Amino acid sequence: MQTAFAPERLAADPQLASSEKILRTCVHCGFCTATCPTYVLLGDELDSPRGRIYQIKDMLEGGKDATPEIVKHVDRCLSCLSCMTTCPSDVHYMHLVDHARAHIEQTYRRPLADRLMRATLAFVLPHPGRFRLALAAAWFAKPLAPLFSSVPAGAAWRDAAACARKARGALRDREPARVPGGGRAQDARRHSPGLRPGGAGARDQ
């Protein structure tokens, strides 16, 4: 991909220089789109790795502030890095999206509900004790859920959950019936801790 960053900006900012090098390795082939869950689900080029790379390039190259549109598409990226497994050019998408997220934090003021939700997540998720308390509180508050249906942050959570469910279903539909070695894909998933509910740390009982 051709880039037009100002040389003095690249010299002054090593992270920008590193992102520029990565951008130049993308050849626009689009192979990555086939393995991106958000593109598979939404069918929008702007929600594909290639589309996000274009948006990130435009933002970083021009030194522009993040716009709500770019924030929407970068926020939808799950950082699953599935796109990196199918890229023939070894585009280091992870660095690009991390750089874009840092740039967004510096140049974009999120709506209040969004900021509150993020602050809550940052307060709760890294601490197992707080997380356990939050789960217990959520269990007691479950009957009140319909009362929060009109709260924007609540709607965003529901959309995100629906998106994740649909992406999981869409990817499962594309799963081959059999895997190398002769077993069923379903069995391989069951015996692979990283691919079943419970995640990487789960063990067979």
Residues that bind ligand SF4 (CB under 6 A): 26-32, 35-38, 49-50, 52-53, 77-83, 87, 89, 91, 93
Closer by beta carbon to ligand SF4, 49 or else 99: 49
CA 70 – CA 81 distance, rounded (Å):
19
Q: Which of 194, 113, 126 is nearest to 155 (CA)?
A: 113
CB of 70 to ligand SF4, least distance (A): 14
CB of 33 to ligand SF4, least distance (A): 7
- Least distance in angstroms from the C-beta of 203 to ligand SF4: 27
Q: Least distance in Å: CB of 147 to ligand SF4?
A: 32
Shortest spacing between CB 82 and ligand SF4, in angstroms? 4
Smaller CB separation from ligand SF4, 8 or 173: 173
- CA distance linking residue 59 with residue 53, whole number of Å: 10
Helices (H), 77-184: 82-86, 93-107, 112-124, 128-141, 152-173
Q: Which residues of 100-134 are buried (b: 16+ CB within 10 A; e: fewer)?
A: bbebbeeeeebeeeeeebeeeeeebeeeeeeeeeb
Between 16 and 26, CB nearer to ligand SF4: 26
Radius of gyration of the chain (CA): 20
Closest CA to 187 of 175, 201, 199: 175
Which residue, 5 or 93, has its beta carbon nearer to ligand SF4? Answer: 93
Which one, 67 or 89, has the nearer CB to ligand SF4? 89
